């Protein structure tokens, strides 16, 4: 029997449920990213499935993602939306945004997705100024130094009863009580934010990392 290591468990989960999804879109998105030399820092397939299931569980109609990369996690989230749903995803790097836009198009999801290029803090400030409608889910997965600032926007933009997801919350020295990183600051801030109830789902890509799930109970 194979050992229960992260390297074995992650693909086991992904393969067990793969037939429930249109796997060809996810595989070709990863191939496009590789061809474009985009770093392989996307969520794993099993974490993508987790995002998809959470989006369906709250019957999400509006999702905000901060940190698009090649659109891999965006595919998992947007494919959980109804036809009139909307995912807005924010990305700094125009090359990443271009690959993501193509991947979402190829999956037939152009009608419900929008990739906004630029520093996310600028895009978020513009959305606030424009009075953006609330989201059911906000997924934070960009530069870790700005996670604490992204959290402020996530709280403002996510509806009560909605969910804030944050990726990579068990790496970046998360467990070192003396460390001062974007993630240690984020975890400390999140733990002390009134109105949010949080848990961490361990994830298994290249060792153990974490996906934090926070319910907005009140603002
Ligand atoms: N969510 C993606 C992975 C995102 S990787 C997935 O799982 O498929 C982090 C992304 O954040 C990178 O594409 C990087 O270019 C982008 N990024 C870094 N700094 C940023 C900033 N200030 N504003 C917006 N995006 C940023
Ligand atoms: Mg991530």
Tens digits of residue pLDDT in 33-61: 999 999 999 999 999 999 999 999 999 99
Q: Give CA–CA dist 137/157, Å, rounded.
A: 9
Between 2 and 36, the more confident residue is 36
Q: How many CB atoms lie under 10 A from the CB of residue 207?
A: 11
**pLDDT value at 1 more than 90:** no
126 assigned to some structural domain: yes
Atom of ligand 1 nearest to the CA of 38: 13
In terms of residue numbers, what domain contains 45? 6-216
Which residues sit opposite 56 in a β-bridge? none
Report the mean per-residue pLDDT for the chain.
Answer: 97
Residue 111 above 90 pLDDT? yes
Tell me, using a 6 A CB cutoff, whether residue 120 lines ligand 1.
Answer: yes
Whole-number pLDDT of residue 82:
98
User: Nearest C-alpha to atom 12 of ligand 1 is from which residue?
Assistant: 69
Question: How many structural domains compose the chain?
Answer: 1
* Shortest-distance ligand to the CA of residue 69: 1
pLDDT of 74 reads 98
Locate 19 and state its tokens: 């037939």
CATH number at residue 85: 3.40.50.150
- pLDDT of 206 > 90? The answer is no
Contact 49, 17 (CB under 8 A): yes
**SS3 state of residue 62:** strand
Q: Is residue 1 included in any domain, yes or no? A: no
- pLDDT, tens digit, for every residue of 63-109? 999 999 999 999 999 999 999 999 999 999 999 999 999 999 999 99
């Amino acid at each position: 029997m194979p050992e229960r290591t992260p390297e074995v468990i992650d693909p086991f989960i992904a393969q067990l449920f793969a037939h429930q999804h249109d796997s060809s879109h996810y595989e070709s998105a990863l191939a496009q990213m590789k061809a474009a030399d985009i770093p392989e820092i996307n969520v794993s397939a099993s974490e993508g499935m987790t995002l998809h299931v959470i989006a369906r569980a709250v019957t999400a109609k509006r999702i905000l993602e901060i940190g698009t990369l090649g659109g891999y996690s965006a595919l998992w989230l947007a494919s959980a939306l109804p036809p009139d749903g909307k995912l807005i995803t924010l990305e700094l790097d125009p090359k990443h945004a271009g690959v993501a836009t193509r991947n979402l198009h190829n999956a037939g999801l152009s009608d419900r997705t929008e990739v906004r290029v630029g520093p996310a803090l600028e895009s978020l400030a513009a959305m606030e100024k424009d009075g953006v409608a609330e989201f059911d889910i906000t997924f934070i997965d960009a530069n870790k130094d700005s996670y604490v600032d992204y959290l402020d926007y996530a709280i403002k933009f996510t509806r009560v009863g909605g969910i804030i997801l944050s990726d990579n919350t068990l790496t970046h020295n998360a467990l070192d009580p003396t460390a001062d990183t974007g993630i240690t600051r984020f975890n400390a801030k999140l733990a002390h934010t009134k109105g949010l109830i949080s848990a961490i789902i361990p994830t298994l890509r290249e060792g153990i990392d974490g996906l934090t799930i926070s319910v907005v109970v009140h603002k």
